């Protein structure tokens, strides 16, 4: 996959070389300068004419016509040095890899020096490029008949650098692990609902457990009934598919303390139940397990990187269907915590599943909670499709989640939960809680409801209803599932500082 070399020269026989170029003033790397000399200054002329662009995320391909060892030069515009961020570099590299899809070259050479500046080290650049390579190369296979000739793509990167080989190899590995795990989450979300039931999701989690040595627990319906998981079981009432409560434990410390609980909503299909969604809104509801996918993707990274941190992942999984046995508005159910819930909207089912998952995570010793869910359409109205909504009961934990999201390039925006919001969620004449107390502040009501089960445990809620899928291609992915929050959760675990420390 990755090969590291110490020196890149213009006479080396290569299919293609990827070179970064900065703007205003535009400047070539040492390799590009040497190539320009061999080509009698033609690269400089092409730069002046705009055939080679240094603007951020612009990609320019130059055929050398046998005058260089490299058959093709691919210039990646990085914009102004002072404006370059890790995320911009990643996106620029991703765009280059996307444009090289279908190339006959099995490998590409990277002039790593050309991507490095004072604020972007060689290891940072290597990390960004390898993550971009994984993310930009993603394509969901789907179920169409396969062509006889498989699509050609770059399989190997040859990285040329003077920096210590071990450091560069580690950076390349980390970037690729993060990108590959995000793709695993994308695959899960893109699967059709008849191909990914709660049982299928549980088997996938079990396979992760076997691969990485996680302690694994899969609760079936009867076990949930004994434990009193009435909230998740209510959502499952209308389904012929059995529900699953999925638990993966990773112990990175000697003692089971300072445990981070990652909780994912795993609703594999959501009709809305008796509060039935309109036809247009029902298409795409296979993605309602995006939170579960993010948690499982993060656990893949944790399994590969082995951080010194304790983690318990808990996923509540079912579909939400309509039948004679389905739960209905006006029902009152009892959650695992003992709190009773008046159901006023069966399409507000995700928070019911999360209620029991949060309680179970606490029973497994979670000292900190982060739940991820495609919870509400309201968050899309509030924040659009590129910003995850966040809510919390703990400033210190939220700051760590926010920092991780910024580093991962997965932005979020905090929404408030006031005492009045909590009173609205508790506004029921029949039960302790109301699962859907009105459309106003719908995203906040969903978060506030889950917060009732976190209680005093430090907790952050991430509503990814808008960000878990994309309607169009980007530099780092295709339309469809994004795998959002996979990298944020993994970075949170990797960088976590507990209150005890």
Question: Residue 450: CA atoms inside 13 Å, Cβ hemisphere, count?
Answer: 34
Tokens of 311: 């983690």
Is 49 annotated in a binding site? The answer is: no
Length of the chain: 501
Is 265 annotated in a binding site? The answer is: yes
Is 11 annotated in a binding site? The answer is: no
Residues involved in catalysis? 277, 351
Tokens of 343: 């159901």
Burial class (CB in 10 A: 0-12, 13-18, 19+), 323: exposed
Q: In angstroms, rounded to a whole number, what is the distance separating the alpha carbons of residues 16 and 106?
A: 10
Q: In angstroms, rounded to a whole number, what is the distance separating the alpha carbons of residues 460 and 141?
A: 34
The verdict on whether omega for the bond into residue 25 sits within 30 degrees of 0, i.e. cis, is yes
Tokens of 404: 């991780």
CA 477 to each of CA 132, 135, 169: distance values in angstroms, whole numbers, following the listed order: 9, 6, 24
Q: Phi-psi bin for 293: left (phi > 0), alpha (psi -120 to 50), beta?
A: alpha
Classified as helix, coil or strand, 100 is: coil
Is 40 annotated in a binding site? The answer is: no
Q: In angstroms, rounded to a whole number, what is the distance separating the alpha carbons of residues 498 and 501?
A: 5
Maximum pairwise Cα distance, the chain: 84
Is 420 annotated in a binding site? The answer is: no
Contact 247, 313 (CB under 8 A): yes
Tokens of 437: 């107390």
Classified as helix, coil or strand, 160 is: strand
Using the Cα atoms of residue 245, residue 251, residue 257 and residue 263 in order, give the sign of their dihedral.
negative
Tokens of 90: 């990643």
φ and ψ at residue 3, rounded to 5 degrees: -130, 130
281 Cβ neighbours under 8 A, 6+ residues apart: 272
Tokens of 147: 């062509």
Q: In angstroms, rounded to a whole number, what is the distance separating the alpha carbons of residues 183 and 405?
A: 17
Count CB atoms within 10 A of the CB of residue 118: 7
The runs of H, that is alpha helices, within 191-289 are 198-212, 221-227, 230-236, 279-282
Residues of each annotated binding site: 265, 270, 288, 347, 349
Residues of each annotated binding site for Mn(2+): 265, 270, 288, 347, 349
């Amino acid at each position: 996959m990755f090969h590291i070399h110490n020196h890149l020269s213009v006479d080396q026989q290569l299919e293609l070389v990827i070179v970064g170029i900065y703007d205003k003033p535009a400047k070539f790397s040492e390799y590009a300068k040497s190539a320009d000399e061999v080509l009698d200054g033609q690269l400089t002329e092409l730069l002046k004419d705009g055939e080679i662009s240094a603007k951020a995320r612009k990609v320019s391909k130059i055929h050398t016509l046998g005058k260089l060892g490299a058959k093709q030069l691919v210039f990646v515009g990085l914009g102004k040095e002072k404006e370059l961020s890790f995320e911009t570099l990643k996106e620029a590299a991703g765009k280059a890899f996307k444009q090289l899809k279908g190339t006959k070259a099995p490998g590409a050479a990277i002039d790593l020096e050309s991507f490095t500046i004072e604020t972007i080290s060689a290891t940072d650049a290597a990390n960004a490029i390898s993550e971009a390579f994984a993310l930009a190369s993603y394509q969901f296979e789907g179920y169409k008949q396969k062509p006889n000739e498989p699509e050609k793509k770059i399989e190997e990167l040859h990285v040329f650098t003077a920096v210590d080989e071990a450091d560069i190899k580690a950076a390349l590995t980390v970037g690729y692990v993060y990108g590959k795990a995000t793709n695993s989450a994308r695959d899960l979300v893109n699967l059709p609902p008849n191909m990914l039931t709660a049982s299928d999701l549980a088997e996938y989690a079990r396979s992760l457990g076997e691969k990485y040595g996680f302690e694994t627990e899969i609760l079936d319906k009867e076990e949930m009934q004994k434990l009193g998981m009435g909230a998740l079981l209510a959502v499952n009432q209308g389904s012929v598919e059995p529900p699953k409560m999925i638990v993966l434990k990773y112990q990175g410390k000697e003692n089971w303390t300072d445990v981070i609980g990652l909780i994912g909503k795993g609703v594999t299909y959501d009709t809305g139940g008796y509060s039935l969604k309109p036809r247009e809104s029902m298409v795409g509801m296979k993605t309602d397990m995006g939170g579960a996918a993010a948690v499982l993707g993060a656990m893949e990274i944790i399994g590969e990187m082995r951080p010194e941190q304790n983690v318990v992942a808990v996923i509540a999984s079912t579909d939400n269907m309509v039948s004679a046995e389905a739960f209905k508005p006006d029902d009152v159910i009892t959650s695992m915590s003992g709190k009773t819930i008046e159901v006023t909207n069966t399409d507000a089912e995700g928070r019911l599943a999360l209620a029991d998952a949060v309680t179970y995570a606490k029973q497994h010793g979670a000292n900190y909670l982060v739940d991820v869910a495609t919870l509400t359409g309201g968050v899309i109205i509030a924040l659009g499709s590129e910003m995850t909504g966040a809510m919390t009961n703990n400033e210190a934990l939220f700051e760590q989640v926010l920092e991780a999201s910024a580093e991962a390039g997965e932005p979020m925006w905090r929404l408030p939960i006031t005492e009045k919001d909590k009173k609205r969620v508790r506004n029921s004449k029949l039960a302790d809680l109301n699962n859907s107390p009105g459309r106003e502040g719908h995203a906040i009501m969903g978060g506030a409801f889950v917060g009732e089960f976190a209680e005093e445990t430090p907790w952050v809620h991430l509503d990814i209803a808008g960000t878990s899928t994309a309607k169009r291609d980007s530099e780092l992915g295709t339309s469809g599932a994004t795998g959002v929050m996979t990298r944020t959760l993994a970075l949170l675990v990797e960088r976590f500082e507990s209150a005890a420390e």
